[in-house]
Amino acid sequence: MFSVGAYLQIAALLAVTFVSFFIWTYLTSPSPNLVSLSDPKLLRTLYNTRGDYLKSKFYDVNSAKVGHEIIYNVFSTRSNKEHAHAIRPVRKLFTLSSLLKTEPLIDATIQTLLSELDSNFVLGENAGKTCKMDNWLPFFAWDVIGSLTFGAPMGYLDKGCDFDGSQRSGVETFFYFACVGQIPELDYFLAKNPVMRIGPPAFNGPAILCAQRVAERQKEFEIKGKTAHKDMLEDFMRINREDPSIMDENAVIGALIVNVLAGGDTTGILLCAIIYYVLKDQSVYRKLMEELDAANLPCPVSYASAEKLPYFDAVVKEAARMHPGVGLILERVVPAGGLTLADGRVLSPGTIVGMNAWVIHQNKEIFGDDAASFNPERWLRGKAETDEGYQVRLSIMKNHDLTFGAGKRVFESCGSKPRMAHPVLLVYEADWDRCKASEKEQDRGLTSIRG
């Protein structure tokens, strides 16, 4: 075994080698090898269903290191072959019919959210207290993900705080991904350093959480000889037990990490955006209330009835357009043959290109002259519009909606948003006409509400 001193020497040597490599690479490059594109005509070229524009090394950073192993997941893998292998066993678990079976779990979490908001901010001596919805909606989203993934809510709604630090760890993870992803090679020097992990928190927090849950469930299986949970952990482990070549233990952990990280934050962000925009615009708020009044819905509202609410659907789509949960360039690599831009310039194979939803969603040619404003009506048929004209306009907007990505690497099930967007119907339940936030309060956090 090496002494601590020897390890430190190796680490110092590696550090010097890496730093020299980066200084050399970046000083000798004419420019960083990334071109951010905003021409909507190129969207279906970069994000096509053939998948010839592979994901860039930026996504490598999203893999977690557990022990000495780097665990790639369905989101982070760049290879089409590995992606097909990783997505095959999980795809059916994310179909609408599978997800609808989880409705009772989501309903129970909606009930918990409503009763926590009532008791903490609306009833008795708590009436009138300010509620930071940008805390409570992520608590809800993470609890739903916990129920679907591990069979029980994470407990954030019950405790009213990030009691185990997982949410903070998720935020730090994304911060690491966003920054280090710009120079992905740095990741092998920091979080994936072969000698010793250095640098800020990365994917290790969520990875440890998921590995622990797998170990606990495995132990239960060994003691009882069987387990009968109705959650994704059980589904993933069953696939692993039946045929590890389809999903090995690392793939199980990788799939869980994706659920925890990709689902909680993004959904929390969308929910906050919906509440923010609805409360900011009185005419939108009133219209939504009218639709909900007329529908006379039970609480919680089922997916089937929410689907029949066109204005609600338009509000959700518009909030996602204005405030897409992923604010980074979705990087891809130009394949052999290069990419010709509208002005005739050709980007050579290997160039990294990408688009950002925050840019594309503001394009006036696609979304109209008022693209900068929150206007759910754009998703509905205008009074003077023919049905044919509306369908054409709608399909152009849908084809340029990057909220959930596009092309081969879009994850269809991210679109289970209508169900996850349900607590927004608490706008209705809580009669927020009485308790809407002041402009100042809304702008301080994304949303704060006074009960």
Q: Which is nearer to ligand HEM, 65 or 417 (CB)?
A: 417
Q: Which of 53, 75, 121, 374 is in the footprint of ligand HEM by CB under 6 A? A: 75
Residue 266 C-beta: closest distance to ligand HEM, Å: 3
Q: Which is nearer to ligand HEM, 256 or 301 (CB)?
A: 256
Asked if 263 is part of the footprint of ligand HEM (rule: CB under 6 A), the reply reads yes
Sheet with 330-333, side-by-side order of all strands: 34-36, 352-355, 330-333
Residue 382 C-beta: closest distance to ligand HEM, Å: 27
Residue 69 C-beta: closest distance to ligand HEM, Å: 20
Residue 77 C-beta: closest distance to ligand HEM, Å: 8
Name 69's bridge partners: 66
Closest-by-Cβ residue to ligand HEM is: 405
Q: Which of 72, 156, 404, 432 is in the footprint of ligand HEM by CB under 6 A? A: 404
Three-state SS string over the chain comes to CCCHHHHHHHHHHHHHHHHHHHHHHHHHCCCCCEEECCCHHHHHHHCCCCCCCCECHHHHHHCEEECCEEECCCCCCCCHHHHHHHHHHHHHHHCHHHHHCCHHHHHHHHHHHHHHHHHHHHCHHHCCCEEEHHHHHHHHHHHHHHHHHHCCCCCHHHHCCCCCCHHHHHHHHHHHHHHHCCCHHHHHCCCCCCCCCCCCCCCHHHHHHHHHHHHHHHHHHHHHCCCCCCCHHHHHHHHHHHCCCCCCHHHHHHHHHHHHHHHHHHHHHHHHHHHHHHHHCHHHHHHHHHHHHHHCCCCCCCHHHHCCCHHHHHHHHHHHHHCCCCCCCEEEECCCCCEECCCCCEECCCCEEEECHHHHCCCHHHHCCCCCCCCHHHHCCCCCCCHHHHHHHHHHHHHCCCCCCCHHHCCHHHHCHHHHCHHHHHHHHCCCCCCCCCHHHHHHCCCEEEC
Q: Which is nearer to ligand HEM, 151 or 405 (CB)?
A: 405
Question: Of 159-167, 172-180, 408-416, 427-435, which segment contacts ligand HEM by CB under 6 A?
Answer: 408-416
Return d(Cα 96, Cα 346) in angstroms, integer.
Answer: 41
Q: What is the size of the binding site for ligand HEM (CB under 6 A)?
A: 20
Question: Of 191-199, 264-272, 293-301, 310-318, which segment contacts ligand HEM by CB under 6 A?
Answer: 264-272
Asked if 209 is part of the footprint of ligand HEM (rule: CB under 6 A), the reply reads no
Residue 405 C-beta: closest distance to ligand HEM, Å: 3
Q: Which of 117, 252, 258, 275 is in the footprint of ligand HEM by CB under 6 A? A: 258
Residue 314 C-beta: closest distance to ligand HEM, Å: 16
Residue 82 C-beta: closest distance to ligand HEM, Å: 11
Torsion angles phi and psi, residue 34, rounded to 5: -130, 130
Q: Which is nearer to ligand HEM, 102 or 448 (CB)?
A: 102
Q: Restricting to residues 84-103, which ones interact with ligand HEM according to CB under 6 A?
A: 87
Our CA dihedral for 374, 375, 379, 384, rounded to 10 degrees, sits at -160
Q: Restricting to residues 412-441, which ones interact with ligand HEM according to CB under 6 A?
A: 414, 417
Asked if 303 is part of the footprint of ligand HEM (rule: CB under 6 A), the reply reads no
Quick check: 46 and 38 in contact, CB under 8 A?
A: no
Residue 404 C-beta: closest distance to ligand HEM, Å: 5
Question: Of 31-39, 174-182, 261-269, 422-430, which segment contacts ligand HEM by CB under 6 A?
Answer: 261-269
Q: Restricting to residues 314-353, which ones interact with ligand HEM according to CB under 6 A?
A: 325-326, 330
Q: Which of 411, 435, 445, 450 is in the footprint of ligand HEM by CB under 6 A? A: 411
Asked if 270 is part of the footprint of ligand HEM (rule: CB under 6 A), the reply reads yes
Question: Of 203-211, 300-308, 384-392, 402-410, which segment contacts ligand HEM by CB under 6 A?
Answer: 402-410
Asked if 259 is part of the footprint of ligand HEM (rule: CB under 6 A), the reply reads yes
Q: Which residues bind ligand HEM (CB under 6 A)?
A: 74-75, 87, 258-259, 262-263, 266-267, 270, 325-326, 330, 403-405, 409, 411, 414, 417
